[in-house]
Each structure stands twice: as structure tokens, then as C-alpha cells.
Amino acid sequence: MDHVGITNRIKKIMDDNNLTPIQFSTKVGIQRSTLSHILSGRNLPSLSVIVKICSVFKDISYNWLIEGVNSVIEPIKSEVSTENIDNKEPSVKTISKSIESSKKKIDKIVFFYTDDSFKIYNCKS
């Protein structure tokens, strides 16, 4: 993960919404110290912080916040299901996006685990 990029995107969200760090942390539901450590570069945001940010700011996509891709942010129509993979992995929430055009190809798949970790699979054809 690009720490500086994520920090800059969080600052942009705060600036675009005219929020101070205290207002932002309250709105998102995280500790002020957590946000302070992220903004200072001490810590990377956890997956739970990223999920909270994207849940509060519905126009922010996970891809944009984590990787800075897809500058045009559009809401994703999704179906959420919980699965257990091979009975070895924790429950996983998978999000499947309907593909509107047969010319579209899947670029990557992200699995979010209940322990706040995630795994990104790049689909190169």
C-alpha cells in the first residue's frame, strides 16, 4: 500500500468536505489518535478504518482510497454474500459487480476478511 497516497487521499476527503481532523474522526467513528497517526505517517490505516471511511462517504470507492485508481468515482451496485472458503479461511464478504458490457474484463478481485485483512488478486489476461 502507498502510505503517502492514502494519507493524501484522506486529507483530500477532509478538505473537500471542510472537515477538521476532529470532525472527520467523529464522523467516521474512529479515535482521534488513530487519525493523527495516519495523517502523521506513523501508521497505515487498517482495513476497518478504510471500510468506515467508504461507508460514510458513499461516493468514495475502495480502489480510489487504497490505490488512487479510478479518478471518476461511481457507486457500485453490488450483491453481498458471506462464504467460508475451504473451511480454512475466515468468513469472507464478496462483492460482485454486474458487468454491463461484454467488452469489460475483470482487473482485480479483493477479498476482505473478518480479521480486517484483505488480499488483492490481479487478473492479468
Smallest Cα–Cα separation from 52: which of 118, 122, 121, 116? 116
Judgement on whether residues 109 and 54 belong to the same structural domain of the protein? no
Give the pLDDT of residue 101. Answer: 43
Q: Which amino acid is at 94?
A: T
Report the domain count for the chain: 2
Over residues 49-75, mean pLDDT: 80
Over residues 14-23, mean pLDDT: 95
Give the pLDDT of residue 97. Answer: 41
Judgement on whether residues 60 and 94 belong to the same structural domain of the protein? no
Contacts of residue 106, Cβ cutoff 8 Å, sequence gap at least 6 = 123
CATH number for position 28? 1.10.260.40
Judgement on whether residues 14 and 56 belong to the same structural domain of the protein? yes
pTM as predicted: 0.56
Q: Which of 29-43, 62-76, 110-124 has the lowest mean pLDDT?
A: 62-76
72 belongs to a structural domain: no
Q: Rounded to an integer, what distance in angstroms lies between the CA atom of residue 62 and that of residue 67?
A: 8
Give the pLDDT of residue 113. Answer: 75
54 belongs to a structural domain: yes
Residues 71-125 pLDDT 10s: 534 444 444 444 444 444 444 444 334 444 446 667 777 777 777 777 777 776 5
